[in-house]
Amino acid sequence: MDPKRQVSASLAPFGTSIFTEMTQLANRLGAVNLSQGFPDFDGPEELRRLAAEDLLRGPNQYAPSPGVPELRQAVAAKLRRFHGLEVDPEREVTVTAGATEGLASALLGLLDPGDEVILLEPFYDLYPAMVARAGARPVCVPLQGPGFELDQRALERAFNPRTRAVLVNNPQNPCGKVYSAEELRFLGELCQRHGAVAIGDEVYEHLVYDGRRHVSLLEVPGLREASIVISSTAKTFSMTGWKVGYAVAAPPLTAAVRAAHQFLTFCTPGPLQRAMAVGLGFADDYYRELLEAYTRRRARLCDALTELGLEVSRPAGTYYATWRIGGLGATDDLEFCRRLAAQAGVAAIPFSVFYQERRGGRDQVRLAFCKRDDTLEEAIARLRRWRRS
Ligand code: PMP
Ligand code: GLN
């Protein structure tokens, strides 16, 4: 039997994730991998040592399903420190297997068939897949122009009595947009007016550049009780493989998250949670130095490629730069990325896969700069040679 036929009708259209495809291609071709967003350096040794000692000490049994108390308290303390928010670690914080499971739990726990979820294009690939798996319908609102502006009228028109939730990725992968407080306030008003839930994916919360402040959905007027904010330790501590994430929401919405979480993973590994509790508590210096290091990497990649005459823009947030390839005569980003990996030896991510039916983004690709200096230098050198030839 065709093995494809075994995949559920809701998930079959999504095929294999672009991150798997591009990393496999990079590995096969020996290309510098600026595609999938993972650092090629390790996270803090102190945290790795703590987790290793915890694993050896044991016990190595199930953690409490909502998360170990130390980590839930650390999440609450961090929200107080960075946002002045008071959250109850017992009733409002749930630890998940990365933001991936946090998002899946929120969507599967909240949605019923017939519900609609508003997504802002370009969206992270998981969203439409999990919305579909929940039997709900994604309603896409594309951001506009090179600055990925929010068309407030289009957003307003997308809301209707079937709207159950709107999903906001801030800062936004892949385009690097950071929403203004005013945009978020408008969104909050719409959610209140229509009784919709705002789901925030804030995994890049500590990578907001140029002196701007990250505004969490939880601090937007009217959204403290009407939002589920999901984040992750993956980016902030440069250990994407640990998969320690969390969801924060008022108790009734936390109940929805936990309703699904208990049947998806039940719990996340305790030693990794306890180590990340220490990480979240790191002094402000840690967070400042993280941002400084990424500000340097952003400049290194974007400046060098701009000097080569390539249209690469600095993101306001995240660790991804947007490269406009239209000027090179390229008309299909996916084709372009496959060719670039083979011809230049650099792997990137096409933008169009983050649009419904690939109807947008064909003239853009994403470059990840969460890499060591020597990796970025090698990528730049290869692109220079490719540009000359
Ligand atoms: N949301 C966005 C926007 C992401 O880029 C990622 C990838 N880190 C995730 C969610 C998933 O996070 P995690 O690795 O913690 O599951
Ligand atoms: N979030 C990562 C990215 O955008 C990929 C995570 C994954 O591979 N699922 O590159």
Candidate of 18, 20, 36, 100 to mutate for ligand 1, largest count of ligand atoms within 8 Å of Cβ: 100
Of 221, 247, 280, which residue sits at a domain end? 280
pLDDT over 90 (residue 21): yes
Task: Round the average pLDDT of the chain to a whole number and report it.
Answer: 97
CA of 240 to the centre of ligand 1 (A): 8
For residues 22 and 71, state if they share a domain.
no
- What are the pLDDT digits (tens) for 304-313? 999 999 999 9
Categorize the per-residue pLDDT at 2 as very low, low, confident or very high, splitting at 50, 70 and 90: low
pTM of the shown model: 0.97
| Ligand number, closest to the Cα atom of 366 | 2
98 alpha carbon – ligand 1 mean position (Å): 7
The CA-based angle 346-352-353, given to 5 degrees, is: 85
Which one of 235, 265, 280 terminates a domain? 280
Atom 8 (ligand 2): residue with closest C-alpha?
19
* Closest to 366 measured CA to CA, from 16, 18, 6: 18
User: Which pLDDT tens digit goes with each residue over 221-253?
Assistant: 999 999 999 999 999 999 999 999 999 999 999
Percentage helix, strand, coil, to 5, in the chain? 45, 15, 35
Distance 35 CA to ligand 2 centre (A): 9
User: Does ligand 1 come within 6 angstroms of the Cβ of 169?
Assistant: yes
Do 283 and 302 contact (CB within 8 A), yes or no?
no
Whether residues 226 and 325 fall in one domain = no
Do residues 83 and 194 share a domain? Answer: yes
CA–CA distance, 97 with 265 (Å, rounded to integer): 7
What is the identity of the amino acid at 169?
A: N
Looking at ligand 1, which residue's alpha carbon is closest to its atom 3?
173
Instruction: For residue 330, count other CB atoms closer than 10 A to its CB.
Output: 18
Are 290 and 338 in the same domain? yes
- Residue 3: pLDDT band (50, 70, 90) is low
| Cβ of residue 238 lying under 6 Å from some atom of ligand 1 | no
Which atom of ligand 2 is found nearest the CA of 126?
A: 9
- Residue 4 is predicted with a pLDDT of 58
Which CATH number is 177's domain given? 3.40.640.10
Q: Is 203 in the pocket of ligand 1 (CB under 6 A)?
A: yes
The answer to whether 19 and 240 have CB atoms below 8 angstroms apart is: no
In this prediction, residue 279 carries a pLDDT of 98
* Residue from 20, 103, 203 whose mutation best tests the ligand 1 pocket (most atoms within 8 A of CB): 203
Cβ–ligand 2 distance for 254 under 6 Å, the answer: no
Cβ 233 vs Cβ 239: under 8 Å: yes
* Same domain flag for 321 and 297: yes
Of 139-143, 171-175, 328-332, least confident by mean pLDDT is: 328-332
> What is the H or E stretch that residue 197 is in?
strand 197-201
Instruction: Please count the structural domains in the chain.
Output: 2
Same domain as 304, residue 236 = no
- Inform me whether the pLDDT recorded for 5 exceeds 80: no
Q: Is the CB of 33 under 6 A from ligand 1?
A: no
Domain boundary among 224, 254, 280: 280
Whether ligand 1 lies within 6 angstroms of the CB of 124 is answered as yes
Residue range 43-88, pLDDT digits in tens: 999 999 999 999 999 999 999 999 999 999 999 999 999 999 999 9
Asked if residue 289 and residue 251 are part of one domain, the reply reads no
155 & 173 share domain: yes
For residue range 267-290, list pLDDT tens digits in order: 999 999 999 999 999 999 999 999
> Which residues face 312 on adjacent strands?
323
Instruction: List the Cα angle 213/218/220 in 5-degree steps.
Output: 70
39 is written with which tokens? Answer: 């650092």
Asked if the model's pLDDT at residue 1 lies above 60, the reply is no
Q: Which domain holds residue 99?
A: 46-280
